[in-house]
Amino acid sequence: MNEESGLNKKKQAAIEVVSECFWGDYLVTPQDILEKLEKKDAAFGRFLFSKIIENSRHPSKHLKALFPMEDLLPMLDRYLSMSGGKKRVRLVAANITGDHSLVPELQWKR
């Protein structure tokens, strides 16, 4: 993927995240998201991650578009341990990591 298409994916993800995950409780624009992620604002990154994982219709897609994998995986591990085994969080983690053992109830019986 070239740099321009990666940037377009990030912009589109930021636009969708604002409409799906922020319901007027925060004044966040797609540009705010992109700028804070570019600056590696760790606190904002964790906040955004939680808003996406809890509220997005396509959390795996948006997380992968907005965060580099080296930042995403530690946040995902942390959220998995804090989530109390929530199925949604395990499913997102399985989609991102490919570790489908995280959601054994959704695997085909053999």
pLDDT at 65: 96
SS3 content of the chain, % helix, strand, coil (to 5): 75, 0, 25
Q: Which residue ranges make up each domain of the chain? A: 3-106
Question: What are the tens digits of pLDDT across the range 41-90?
Answer: 999 999 999 999 999 999 999 999 999 999 999 999 999 999 998 999 99
Structure tokens at 31: 């540009």
Instruction: State if pTM tops 0.85.
Output: yes
| Mean pLDDT estimate for the chain | 91
Model confidence at 101: pLDDT above 80 = yes
Q: How many CB atoms lie within 10 A of CB 16?
A: 18
